Amino acid sequence: MAKKIKIRKVSAWTMGITVVLAIMFAIISYKSEKEFRTLRMTTEQYIACEKAAKQLQNGSAYLTEQVRLYAITRESKYMDLYFAETNSHRRENAVESLKQYFDGTEIFDSLEEAMEYSSELMNTEYYAMRLVSEALSVPEDTWPEAIKNVQLSEEDAHLGRDGKLIRAGNMVCDDDYETMRTRINSDVSRCMNGLISQTRNRQGRATTIFSDMYMKLEIGIVLMLVIMVFICLMLRFLIVRPLVSYNESIKKGEIFPAIGAAELQNLANTYNRVYLENQETQKLICHQAEHDALTEALNRGSYEKLLHIYETGDALFALILIDVDIFKSVNDIYGHAVGDAILQKVTGSLKKAFRSIDYVCRIGGDEFAVIMVDVTSDLKYTIEDKLKYVGEELAKTEGEVPAVTLSVGVAFSDRENPGESIFKDADKALYHVKENGRNGCAFYNGASSLENAMENHEMKDHGMEN
């Protein structure tokens, strides 16, 4: 037996997978955002560090340029520009701005070392500017505080004007000075290289993470598409198709095929059971509406419908009217229970004698009718044989049920000289039997005859006038 697929279970699994994918997407989004923030911060740090390093390098170069111009041109404005730069603390601020990002790192150490070299270089520059200022006899009260604090060596202090100028020029242009500048540039370059390396590493890590997340995202999207296709197919085959089939079955008045999801199969089985039970109930109701409750023969309503159909149609048939002789007296003597048993016995005998395609009807208390189909008037002997069998069966005493006889009148649809209706013609034949001692059978033929009468279970001939 094939395992049934339950919608509830499929729905639960689908919902679970969807929740897992949703959580995965949320995690991927969170990690992507976090990594993006990290990458952005790394980029900002790189920009800040590059800017600070350039400020330090440019500031140091600017100071060198101003002190050299002051020593060469001997114009005080260059000394003023020099100290305007130092008072702006551009280099110090640049280094301080990097401390929050790179404190304790090799990058920051390189920049601090460059700053230390720059500070050492400034002491040399202060010394040179003191020599120039003294050589030019610049009023001391106009000197910056840093120049005032410089102490010349005894040898330099005794130099003449030209000697001091030459000495100042040599100090800011000699090999020692250039070596210090080279160290500053080297430290700045090392800082930049470290920063570039760190930034590339972080970018590489971010690229790897982004690639991994994008791959997971693509897998998740594919899974979502697969789930959506799966859900559509499941809906199509487990729900939609069965419902369409059920609708067609309702239109055709058929039972539902047990297909689709387990819940729909259960629904189909329940519907089919109720449908079949309802059909049986309808059959029972129709049977009860069409049949006599006591004898199970067709009732008068069914008899009238059938007679009307055959009278208005082209099919040949015979109408046989039957009365149980002296039934009222038998009923009064033996009781209603025995009377009911007699009626049931009459019905059973008639059903045995006639064909299944013929209609045995109870049209009154002790009155019966048989509509015998596909028969013509030349088959009288067939009816006589059947009625003879019935008479023999009813002549037998069974327990408390006594023997009874029947009076029978027959009319064919193809009879000669038909009267007003086949019923009245058959009734005339029946009446003739009753008037001539009962226990017999007469056939209406439109003339004066009573053929094949039954009395004491033997056939006799009687005449009948129309």
Residues 211 and 323 in one domain: no
pTM over 0.85: no
**Residue 323 vs residue 140, higher pLDDT:** 323
Q: How many domains does one find in the chain?
A: 2
Q: What is the pLDDT of residue 194?
A: 79
Domain boundary among 175, 191, 218: 218
| Structural domain range at position 156 | 7-218
70, amino acid identity: Y
In a domain, 243, yes or no: no
Whether the per-residue pLDDT at 226 is higher than 70: the answer is yes
Question: Each residue of 294-311: pLDDT tens digit?
Answer: 999 999 999 999 999 999
For residues 224-246, give the mean pLDDT.
84
Are the C-beta atoms of residues 405 and 434 closer than 8 Å to each other?
A: no
Q: What is the pLDDT of residue 363?
A: 94
Range picked from 162-171, 185-194, 453-462 for highest mean pLDDT: 162-171
Nearest to 429 by CA among 445, 440, 442: 442
Distance between CA atoms of residues 176 and 187, nearest Å: 17
Residues 196 and 335 in one domain: no
Distance between CA atoms of residues 49 and 60, nearest Å: 16
CATH number, domain of 447, equals: 3.30.70.270
- For the ranges 84-98, 334-348, 357-371, the lowest mean pLDDT is seen at 84-98
Whether the per-residue pLDDT at 222 is higher than 90: the answer is no
Residues 325 and 178 in one domain: no
Whether the per-residue pLDDT at 58 is higher than 90: the answer is no
In a domain, 279, yes or no: no
For residues 71-87, give the mean pLDDT.
88
Residues 304 and 439 in one domain: yes
Question: Each residue of 2-45: pLDDT tens digit?
Answer: 567 777 777 788 888 888 888 888 888 888 788 778 778 777 77
Q: What is the pLDDT of residue 21?
A: 80
Residues 317 and 193 in one domain: no
Residues 209 and 312 in one domain: no
Question: Each residue of 327-353: pLDDT tens digit?
Answer: 999 888 999 999 999 999 999 999 999
Q: What is the pLDDT of residue 390?
A: 96
Residues 27 and 113 in one domain: yes
Whether the per-residue pLDDT at 91 is higher than 60: the answer is yes
Question: Each residue of 138-166: pLDDT tens digit?
Answer: 888 889 988 988 898 989 888 899 898 89
**Residue 281: band (very low, low, confident or very high) from pLDDT cuts 50, 70, 90:** confident
Domain boundary among 169, 190, 218: 218
Q: What is the 3-state secondary structure (H, E, C) of the chain?
A: CCCCCCHHHHHHHHHHHHHHHHHHHHHHHHHHHHHHHHHHHHHHHHHHHHHHHHHHHHHHHHHHHHHHHHHHHCCHHHHHHHHHHHHHCHHHHHHHHHHHHHCCCHHHHHHHHHHHHHHHHHHHHHHHHHHHHHHCCCCHHHCCHHHHCCCCCHHHHCCCHHHHHHHHHHHCCCHHHHHHHHHHHHHHHHHHHHHHHHHHHHHHHHHHHHHHHHHHHHHHHHHHHHHHHHHHHHHHHHHHHHHHHHHHHHHHCCCCCCCCCHHHHHHHHHHHHHHHHHHHHHHHHHHHHHECCCCCCECHHHHHHHHHHHHHCCCCEEEEEEEECCHHHHHHHHCHHHHHHHHHHHHHHHHHHCCCCCEEEECCCCEEEEEEECCCHHHHHHHHHHHHHHHHHHCCCECCECCCCEEEEEEECCCCCCCCCHHHHHHHHHHHHHHCCCCEEEEECCCCCEEEEEECCEEEEECCCC
* Pairing verdict, β 406-412 and 440-444: parallel
Are the C-beta atoms of residues 272 and 249 closer than 8 Å to each other?
A: no
Residues 300 and 213 in one domain: no
Residues 68 and 159 in one domain: yes
Question: Each residue of 92-115: pLDDT tens digit?
Answer: 887 777 777 777 788 778 878 888
Burial 190-201 (b: 16+ CB within 10 A, else e): bbbebbeebbee
Structure tokens at 439: 């226990």
Distance between CA atoms of residues 133 and 104, nearest Å: 41
CA angle at 418 for the pair 412 and 420, rounded to the nearest 5°: 110
Residues 148 and 64 in one domain: yes
Residues 53 and 159 in one domain: yes
Q: What is the pLDDT of residue 460?
A: 39
**Residue 459: band (very low, low, confident or very high) from pLDDT cuts 50, 70, 90:** very low
In a domain, 119, yes or no: yes
For residues 256-276, give the mean pLDDT.
85
Question: Each residue of 377-393: pLDDT tens digit?
Answer: 999 999 999 999 999 99
Percent of the chain at pLDDT above 70? 95
Backbone φ and ψ for 400, nearest 5 degrees, come out as -90, -5
In a domain, 343, yes or no: yes
User: Tokens 């064919």 belong to which residue?
Assistant: 412
**CA distances in angstroms from 457 to 19, 384, 396, 399, listed in the order given:** 91, 11, 11, 21
Residues 156 and 305 in one domain: no
In a domain, 123, yes or no: yes
Q: What is the pLDDT of residue 74?
A: 86
Q: What is the pLDDT of residue 433?
A: 95
Q: What is the pLDDT of residue 462?
A: 36
In a domain, 269, yes or no: no
Q: What is the pLDDT of residue 2?
A: 56
Q: What is the mean pLDDT of the chain?
A: 85
In a domain, 228, yes or no: no
- For the ranges 50-59, 211-220, 259-268, 315-324, the lowest mean pLDDT is seen at 50-59
Domain boundary among 187, 218, 249: 218
In a domain, 272, yes or no: no
Q: What is the pLDDT of residue 3?
A: 66
